[in-house]
Structure formats: structure tokens, C-alpha cells
């Protein structure tokens, strides 16, 4: 089972982002556009994970959630690429809460003997992927977001399973945990 740790994106944020990228979808219709209902912010990617390691991951993540504080996020208007294959929309955090959460997740998993990818954490939502025979175009204009981008407060994290099929990736929550630390004053 391929696993990753993620934060949900609320429907209101998904609608704002979907509206902002609609002109891009029309111009670049050959890209594989990710369905808004599956957008998520990945904190750590575990990859294929046997049951024993999954159980250690769940215990480690539960301990993180016990002390992690909810944090406020917002779309920041940036568009970026990972290589030539992935187009993403940037996410920003009020304060250091999101970076602290991602760092805590990766540290706890490593301490439990659960390896994660070694790529640096970048807060983003993947919005499109290039097909094998194409590249994601370089886009220099920021997203046209509402004047006051829709902020949201992250109150839980999830261990997610990813299954690949002909229609793309399908995700399901293996376990979820509320972030129980005291919210910032």
C-alpha cells in the first residue's frame, strides 16, 4: 500500500482554486487536471509500506497530533512546477505552524523507523500533471484569486493510501487524527 500524510482542503478553498485555474484548464486541456475533490497538502510521502511499518507510522502520527496545534493556511497565488511534469498552486501558513507540523511528522516517522521521501517540504497543491509525452508549460502569471483568499484552519491530519489505476490516483484515509495542541493565542 502506498501511503502519505496529508491535510484536507475544504470545499470553499477548492472552489476558489478551481475558479482561478479554469482559464488555464481551457488553454491547456491536454494536461491531466487533478479533480478538486482529491486536492490535499502532503506533509510526508511514505511510498509502499508494509503493515508492520504502517502500524508504527500510525502510532507516531497519533503522538504528533496529540501536541500539534491547528494552523491557518491560505492559497498564496503562486503557480510552480516540479520538473516538467507537475503544476502546483502555492499554499502559505500564518506563522510557522505548517512547517513545524511537517517537520514533526517527518521526525516522528523517522524515529519510528518509517522512512519518508527526502525532498524538502514545500506547501503546495498539485493541480495538474503532464502526460508522458508532454511537459507542463512555464506559466509566469500568478493565479487570479479572490481579493481576500479563502483562509482555512487545519484541525486534523490523515494517513492516506494511494492506489493507481487507469483513471489516475484514488485516495482513501487509513486513519485520521485531530490536532489537539492548544491553538495559538
What is the DSSP secondary-structure string of 5-44?
EEEE--HHHHHHHHHHHHHHHHHTTTSEEPPGGG-EEEEE
Structural domain harbouring 129? 2-178
Q: Which residue has the higher pLDDT, 144 or 10?
A: 10
Q: Is residue 52 situated within a structural domain?
A: yes
> Is 185 a domain residue?
no
Query: 40-83 pLDDT, tens per residue?
Result: 999 999 999 999 999 999 999 999 999 999 999 999 888 889 99
- How far, in Å, CA of 93 to CA of 111, rounded? 26
pLDDT of residue 96: 86
Q: Does any domain span residue 60?
A: yes
Sequence-distant (≥ 6) Cβ neighbours of residue 117 within 8 angstroms: 44, 45, 47
Residue 185 scores a pLDDT above 60:
no
pLDDT at residue 184, as a whole number: 53
* Cα four-point dihedral sign 25, 26, 32, 36: positive
Quote the pLDDT of residue 148: 62
pLDDT of 33 over the 90 cut: yes
**Residue 149 forms part of a structural domain:** yes
Domain count, the chain: 1
Spell out the long-range contacts of 118-124 with Cβ–Cβ below 8 A and sequence spacing 24 or more. 119/45, 121/43, 123/41, 123/73, 123/90, 123/91, 123/92, 123/93, 123/98, 124/41, 124/80, 124/88, 124/89, 124/90, 124/91
Q: For residue 167, what pLDDT band results from cuts at 50, 70 and 90?
A: low
Examine residue 46 and state whether it is found in any structural domain, yes or no. yes
pLDDT reading at 147 higher than 70: no
List the CATH number of the domain containing 173. 3.90.1140.10
The answer to the question of residue 184 being in a domain is no
Write down the mean pLDDT value for the chain.
90
Is pLDDT above 80 for 168?
Answer: no
Above 70 in pLDDT, residue 12? yes
The mean pLDDT of 7-24, rounded to a whole number, is 92
Report whether pLDDT(87) > 60.
yes
Tell whether the model's pLDDT for residue 183 goes beyond 60: no
Is residue 86 one of the residues assigned to a domain? yes
Contact of 96 with 142, CB cutoff 8 Å: no
What pLDDT band is residue 146 in, cutting at 50, 70 and 90? low
- Each residue's pLDDT tens digit, 106-144: 999 999 999 999 999 999 999 999 988 888 888 776 677
Amino acid at each position: 500500500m502506498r501511503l502519505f500524510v496529508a491535510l484536507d482542503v475544504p470545499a470553499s478553498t477548492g472552489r476558489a482554486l478551481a475558479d482561478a485555474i479554469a482559464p488555464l484548464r481551457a488553454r491547456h486541456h491536454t494536461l491531466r487536471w487533478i479533480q478538486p475533490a482529491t486536492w490535499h497538502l502532503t506533509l510526508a510521502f511514505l511510498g509502499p509500506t508494509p503493515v508492520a511499518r504502517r502500524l508504527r507510522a500510525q502510532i507516531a502520527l497519533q503522538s504528533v497530533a496529540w501536541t500539534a496545534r491547528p494552523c491557518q493556511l491560505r492559497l498564496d497565488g503562486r503557480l510552480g512546477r516540479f520538473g516538467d511534469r507537475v503544476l502546483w498552486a502555492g499554499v502559505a501558513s500564518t506563522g510557522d505552524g505548517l512547517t513545524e507540523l511537517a517537520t514533526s511528522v517527518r521526525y516522528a516517522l523517522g524515529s519510528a523507523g518509517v522512512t519518508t521521501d527526502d525532498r524538502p517540504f514545500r506547501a503546495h497543491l498539485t493541480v495538474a500533471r503532464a502526460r508522458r509525452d508532454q511537459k507542463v508549460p512555464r506559466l509566469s502569471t500568478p493565479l487570479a484569486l479572490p481579493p481576500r483568499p479563502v483562509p482555512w484552519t487545519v484541525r486534523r491530519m490523515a494517513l492516506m493510501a494511494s492506489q493507481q489505476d487507469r483513471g489516475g490516483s484514488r485516495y482513501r484515509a487509513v486513519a485520521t487524527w485531530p490536532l489537539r495542541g492548544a491553538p495559538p493565542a
